[in-house]
Chain A
Amino acid sequence: MPVQVRGEVVSVRRAGQYHVLTVTAPGVPEVARPGNFATLAIGDLDSSGLLLRRAFSIHGVQSRGIYGGTIDLVIADSGPGTHWLTQRRRGDVLDIVAPLGRPFALPRDPVSCLLVGGGYGSAPLVFLAEALRERGCRVDVMLGAATEEKLFGVLEAKRIASTVTITTDDGSMGEAGLVTDSLRAAIDRAATDVVYACGPMGMLAAVADIATEAGVYSQCAVEESMACGIGVCMTCVLPVIGDDGVTRMLRSCVEGPVFRGDRVRWDDVGTIPSDTWGAPVEEGRQR
């Protein structure tokens, strides 16, 4: 169950093109699971014209220490709201709602897991890798980004994973190309049982397809634009096939952000497929 708490900024540090925000969040570290996310308000509404909270997957948690419970969030400075967050300083107070969303499903048995991150989509993967290692799972990591600057978490991944494969579009670090280019080979090499992925929609679509083709289960955390993050606004929907075979427009904030890769209709994201539950049959009429 999520809580709304006022947290104090402990630190904001740069990591490549990103910022890692550490903030106190009483009650959150104990219940947060890898794949959960947090939302932050951008200032208060008396002074801020930015109404909507910003959502970030939880990169890590510390349940105790001199600051009590804290969480780490990775922020890309990509607009006025996220820029404001990168300018916070130690002691500033933030309004936090967390943990939100369905976390990654963890295997019961010590299986072989391959974690794929695109850009700062790798933010939840170290948190996930730690949970998998605790269960005795083998963990391999593949990280990709446009450039070296846009990679995140390479050192942390190297610390925890059996192997780390780096890919950049321009070849500024690791192999030149897309992270998905060598995915099939990596699955075969590590005898992967489960692929976990977080990153841009195009990457997730490719990861899910390759995993499904290889007969491997995949768990994908989507990055959809959200207004509320708690399931009331219906803006973050995408077409997902249910256990009954019916496609529904599901909310990535509460029914996701983690979905089974073989259940999301990746090619139809951004549309309402005509066989969706409740899709328009003809102009102005509903099924």
Chain B
Amino acid sequence: MTRAVVRHTTGPAAVPAIDMSTRLGSVGLPSPVLTASGCAASGRELDEFFDITSIGAVVTKSIMLEPRSGRATPRMAETPSGMLNSIGLQGPGIHAFLDRDLAWLRERGARVIVSIAGGTTQEFEELARILRDHGGFDALEVNISCPNVADRGQVFACRADSAAGVIGGVRRSTDPDIPVFAKLSPDVTDLGTIALACVRAGADGLSLINTTLGMVIDVDTMRPALAGVTGGLSGPAIRPIAVRCVWQVRDVLPEIPLIGMGGIRNGSDAFEFILAGADAVSVGTVVFHDPSAPARVHAELASIAADRGFARLRDAVSYAHREADPVPEDAAGDDLSLPEWV
């Protein structure tokens, strides 16, 4: 009878000999596997299922200046290999977050990437200043997929100028030693342009991707399934879009640290992102399926990369971008003339 308690997963018995450490700008992490903002709250609930200090970092749910109730329910609809959500950034506000959540994470010994969100560039800057004065975290992730109050609710991430405005402001308001990551939306015409604009504005790295906008209509009520009408689609359904985004941005920006995310279920999925150019990966929606997923993905990723002959995971970053494999020496003299019916 199967009775394996999977709490505090430590992975396969034979730990593969591979260096899993990675760097995100000035910050070194022992593991490339992170939680994803909005899918892990502030780490406390997931710590009951796996040791949150064992993964690279906890990326906290986007926090705003003031307490926020979020949107009306229903906030969620299940979709094929994914889900649609419209939470509306429910949260306690930055001060309660610092006192309660960040304090707990530090005491627990977790590495922390704080995600911030705002309705104006000034709100983002104010959050960055409050966090600078407080300290006690490792990096910032800037959620620019928020409606811009000053631009009829268009999200900051959809335009290079508004995205760069927020990132520049946050960078200037943050301790220079703290890396600033811009989290980009895939719902744009040319992601490379927006990625470049964020980096030129001072982003130390980029997080790819946020959810993509979707909609479900309930055919019984014949109305939108979500109270917020549209919502963000996440889960394995969007993984190919996310891998494409990481690949495209890596092509444009060969050196910039990238955090890849979007539908990662297991080590193999995470390895795809690493090969596409991600220095680290966030495990998000799958946590709703398997609350110990981040620790499991770390173990599986280590095993897969070691099986492929990598001694250091960071050598696998962008490996899919390598030049065409050379023709093996013993095949060089082969007659490769085409058959005559071609």
Residues in chain A near residue B41, CB distance under 8 A: 231-232, 234
Residue of A nearest to B5 (CB): A5
Q: Are A254 and B45 in contact (CB under 8 A)?
A: yes
When the two chains form the complex, which single residue of B78, B85, B90, B292 contacts A249, counting CB atoms closer than 8 Å?
B90
Q: What are the interface flags for A184-216 relative to B under an 8 Å C-beta threshold, 1 for contact and 0 otherwise?
A: 000000000000000000000000000000000
Residue of B nearest to A287 (CB): B66
| Closest CB in chain B relative to A185 CB, distance in Å | 34
Residues in chain B near residue A3, CB distance under 8 A: 5, 7
A230 at the interface (CB under 8 A from B): yes
| Closest CB in chain A relative to B60 CB, distance in Å | 11
B73 at the interface (CB under 8 A from A): yes
Q: What are the interface flags for B247-266 relative to A under an 8 Å C-beta threshold, 1 for contact and 0 otherwise?
A: 00000000000000000011
Q: Are B85 and A95 in contact (CB under 8 A)?
A: no
A227 to B73, CA, bound (A): 13
Of B3, B64, B119, B149, the most chain A CB neighbours within 10 A belong to: B3
B319 at the interface (CB under 8 A from A): no
A182 at the interface (CB under 8 A from B): no
A4 to B289, CA, bound (A): 11
Q: Are B78 and A235 in contact (CB under 8 A)?
A: no
| Closest CB in chain A relative to B219 CB, distance in Å | 13
A52 to B234, CA, bound (A): 12
A188 to B75, CA, bound (A): 40
Residues in chain A near residue B75, CB distance under 8 A: 234-235, 237
> Which residues of B (272-316) have their CB < 8 Å from a CB of A?
285-292
Residue of A nearest to B123 (CB): A286
Q: Are A51 and B45 in contact (CB under 8 A)?
A: no
Residues in chain B near residue A249, CB distance under 8 A: 69-70, 90
- A49 with B81, Cβ < 8 A, contacts A2-B48, A228-B287, A232-B39 known: yes
| Closest CB in chain A relative to B86 CB, distance in Å | 9
B40 at the interface (CB under 8 A from A): yes
Residues in chain B near residue A227, CB distance under 8 A: 76, 78, 83, 85, 288
Residue of A nearest to B236 (CB): A45
Residues in chain B near residue A277, CB distance under 8 A: 67, 69
> Which residues of A (29-59) have their CB < 8 Å from a CB of B?
41, 45-46, 49-53
A140 at the interface (CB under 8 A from B): no
Q: Are A286 and B64 in contact (CB under 8 A)?
A: yes
Of A6, A27, A50, A51, the most chain B CB neighbours within 10 A belong to: A51
Residue of B nearest to A81 (CB): B78
Residues of A within 8 A of B (CB): 1-6, 8, 24, 26-27, 41, 45-46, 49-53, 67-68, 93, 95, 97, 224-225, 227-228, 230-238, 248-249, 254, 269-272, 276-280, 284-287
Residues of B within 8 A of A (CB): 1-7, 39-41, 45-46, 48-49, 61, 64, 66-76, 78, 80-83, 85, 87, 90-91, 93, 119, 147, 149, 153, 227, 235-236, 265-266, 285-292
Closest 9 interchain pairs by CB? A278-B67, A235-B76, A278-B69, A228-B288, A278-B68, A49-B81, A231-B45, A232-B41, A235-B75
